[in-house]
Structure 1
């Protein structure tokens, strides 16, 4: 009986000691991952290419969004939170099919330009096409809303972010644009007959999330329990 109590006491002391060590180790590892992963939010709007002169715009059809100009459609990044502050511009791709969940991926490639969202003649645009620090689209859908004499179109975006170091963080966002002096019925009529609506300005936002500390603490306790289990087997 005394021997059993001694083993139980040793096991209790073992898990007590293991919890802070395991938790600290996981928080250190998670802290490094969070530092590398993209987290926070971005607000963006259409950009501009100086030569040839072209504003970034959308063409909207029933099952797709296509962006011009090509091959780079610049976007201007406005307010940011988290480590998205490292970027002032991006390159946005096409949604080829809403129903089949097909898009040009990465859907957004984040980078920087001398002037946010503006591609000057001879500008270095490599950061917008390097497929580093990106948002990959996994699904999207749109909704039409009557807003006075205009029709507002909201596009929901779902996917994940990949940092330059390969860390993944979940995320999503939206795109918004509008058709002036129209109705939902008139827009649906154009789309349902295979037509499209062009020269639409747009804006939007995205956000990324990383694991919460509470989740990491739970993992730390599980790790400590595993450490105790190994110690008890050794004592036995």
Structure 2
């Protein structure tokens, strides 16, 4: 495969935040990009940005935890953009609470989006990758995988993503497919704003307290994660697989 080979990427949770930044970056890198989110209309503004910049993009409304919806979306993406050989599993939700207050529904909701969704998407797309003899899978984990108060569900899901990623690298490597994970630290998104609200402080105060602990002295931005994704999906990163990259402004553990 050469650098000029056309590629189609699929990014889940792409309507905003990290997913939107990743979609923009991959489009700028020359890939066609399918933006997957629960509400297709929520992807419209990012799709328009990519089109206006001369790229190719498609918005798809999909519940990543719904097996039939995932298969229908993959078939549509194949038909309208091309065979997806790059997958970024970014879709995620928060249902934070201390363990004794956490409901079974909140546990299941987080597991379904993060783990079941990543499994279903990857299983559906790997067929295109194995046929092509080339593929890139990037899964979004988190520093919370190391443990975080009030996030038993989220931490467990993100730790699971890392084990899932390493297993994919072992199973799929012989087909020219790499699988890597990115574990962001504090990134300024709507999700971290929601965390600030949950703990009862303003986002500015929350950000100030967090960044004091970050060696580089600032919070992360969605573009910081997009840059790391861009490396992992590049043609030249074919010898990097099964890795977890902590993008956190310093050591994560």
What TM-score do the two structures reach when normalised by structure 1? Answer: 0.28
Highest Rg: 1 or 2? 1
Higher strand proportion, which one?
Answer: 1
**Which protein is richer in helix relative to its size?**
2
Task: Tell me the TM-score normalized by structure 2.
Answer: 0.26
- Answer 1 or 2: higher relative contact order, Cα 8 Å, separation at least 6: 1
